[in-house]
Amino acid sequence: MSTTISKKTTCDAVTTYSLAAIDQLLKMDPSLDPDFLRAIIKPKREIVVEVPLRRDDGKYVTYQGYRVQHNDARGPFKGGLRYHPSVDVKEARTLAHLMSLKTAVVNIPYGGGKGGIAVDPKTLSIGELERLTRNFTNLIQHNIGPHTDIPAPDVNTNGQIMAWIVDEYSKRHGHCPGVITGKPIELGGSLGRDEATGRGVMYCTREAAKEKGVNLTKAKVVFQGFGNLASFGARLIEQELGATVIGLSSSQGAIYNKNGIDIDAAEVYYKKNRGLKGFKGGDFMTNDELLVQECDILIPSALEKAITLANASKVKAKILVEGANDCTEADADKVLEERGIFVVPDILANAGGVVVSYFEWVQNLDNHYWDLPQVRKELEKIMVAAYSKVSGLATEHHLSMRTAAYTVAIERIARAMMLRGM
């Protein structure tokens, strides 16, 4: 039986946005085959493994692990691994699809993949985390590789976890830093990879403000989140753009101060108290409340689906920069569009991380390492070129930035597939 995706199929937001972009592509080039284009939405391969772990107390447990390999027409599958209880094949499928679109919209030679383990790493000791990571690597070792599929960090995974993966993989396949990105510098990581997603968000914010005539030196910015993206992004937006950060949050709650937040003090407090409740430099509120506070620019940078039908009509920002993947539900996106809120979509806004992952991989394959100014310069070049390609198409065809970004990405993937003869 054919499993073609039609418009009648109930779909996730990423599929809905892809279908809208396919309609646009067909208007621009009616010679394209709609069924062929819709087939791009489907992943190429889905891997599910049962990852064993001997706990410190001797008990034997298993956790489900996943790797979804979405599309590799433009290059090896590429995308993060996350450790989170919500990880499942459906989530990995959506995020892998987003990765294919993300690498295509910024025009780096990769496809898309995503995976992880359905585990809360906070419940594991450091030794347990290492054993689980090594066991997972063994189970997927024949599916990954520097020219097949290159994982990277994502939610709750970091350089140390990438180091264990590269070590375990290299035991069986020879020294191979290019199998993974987001590694510590000592093991072939790239300078500037840690700040890359935040820096990319900062460049997109700058370009969007320019386009919409927002004066950044007077702009007030709310970040939802305080992980890697928000902690670098918030500082860069203040230091390099002169804007003021007035909101930040952790999973337990948020702080808001319309006069500005002392980011360094908030970080010290956050690390010490594992949350922001009680921090004196702002009013404490829920994450939901933070998203609808007065601000010029809103940057959700935590988990998926921050913007829903329940809050889209209350968002006060003029510009929404999607730091988080799969940030906005499809019905909420319509509300944002009707309200004239300018959205920089996730596949463009947060692509800085995978762009510097690409630089890391290039350096690994070359065995030649770049300095930080070079990384930053190359990142800026790629982000600005991608932004202007998307914004140019949006203006020319009166599209939202999201539809324009998806249209650019799907067209690039489709052309690569057609040239290969798939």
In whole angstroms, give the CA distance from residue 316 to residue 256: 14
Confirm or reject binding of residue 198 to ligand GLU (CB under 6 A). no
Confirm or reject binding of residue 79 to ligand GLU (CB under 6 A). yes
Burial 354-368 (b: 16+ CB within 10 A, else e): bbbbbbbbbbbeeee
Query: 419 vs 22, 69, 404, 415, 422, CA distance in Å?
Result: 18, 20, 23, 6, 8
Confirm or reject binding of residue 199 to ligand GLU (CB under 6 A). no
Confirm or reject binding of residue 346 to ligand GLU (CB under 6 A). no
Count the neighbouring beta carbons within 10 Å of the beta carbon of residue 52.
15
Residue at token pair 């030649």: 368
Min dist. Cβ of residue 317 to ligand GLU (A) = 23
In whole angstroms, give the CA distance from residue 96 to residue 167: 24
- Chosen residue from 287, 325, 328, 403 binding ligand GLU by CB under 6 A: 325
- Chosen residue from 65, 75, 80, 198 binding ligand GLU by CB under 6 A: 80
Site size for ligand GLU, by CB under 6 A? Answer: 11
Subset of residues 131 to 170 that bind ligand GLU, contact rule: CB under 6 A: 152, 154
Q: Any alpha helices (H) in 150-275, and if so which ranges?
A: 159-173, 196-212, 228-239, 263-273
In whole angstroms, give the CA distance from residue 14 to residue 5: 13
Min dist. Cβ of residue 291 to ligand GLU (A) = 21
Do the beta carbons of residue 136 and residue 52 sit within 8 Å? no
Task: List the catalytic residue out of 8, 59, 90, 114.
Answer: 114
Subset of residues 176 to 195 that bind ligand GLU, contact rule: CB under 6 A: 181
Q: Which is nearer to ligand GLU, 295 or 348 (CB)?
A: 348
Angle ∠(339,341,346) on CA atoms, nearest 5: 130
What are the tokens at 295? 């601000």
Stretch that binds ligand GLU, among 72-80, 205-213, 243-251, 374-382 (CB under 6 A): 72-80
Min dist. Cβ of residue 358 to ligand GLU (A) = 8
Stretch that binds ligand GLU, among 40-48, 63-71, 351-359, 361-369 (CB under 6 A): 351-359
In whole angstroms, give the CA distance from residue 305 to residue 330: 10
Confirm or reject binding of residue 119 to ligand GLU (CB under 6 A). no
DSSP 252: T
Among candidate residues 147, 42, 27, the one with its CA nearest the CA of residue 413: 42
Q: Which is nearer to ligand GLU, 357 or 403 (CB)?
A: 357
Confirm or reject binding of residue 383 to ligand GLU (CB under 6 A). no
Confirm or reject binding of residue 312 to ligand GLU (CB under 6 A). no
Q: Which is nearer to ligand GLU, 148 or 284 (CB)?
A: 148
Q: Which is nearer to ligand GLU, 354 or 409 (CB)?
A: 354
Count the neighbouring beta carbons within 10 Å of the beta carbon of residue 326.
21
Min dist. Cβ of residue 147 to ligand GLU (A) = 15
Active site residue 114: yes
Min dist. Cβ of residue 78 to ligand GLU (A) = 5
Confirm or reject binding of residue 71 to ligand GLU (CB under 6 A). no
Residues 6+ apart with CB under 8 A from 366: none
By the criterion CB under 6 A, which residues form the site for ligand GLU?
Answer: 78-80, 152, 154, 181, 325, 350, 353-354, 357
The residues assigned a catalytic role are 114
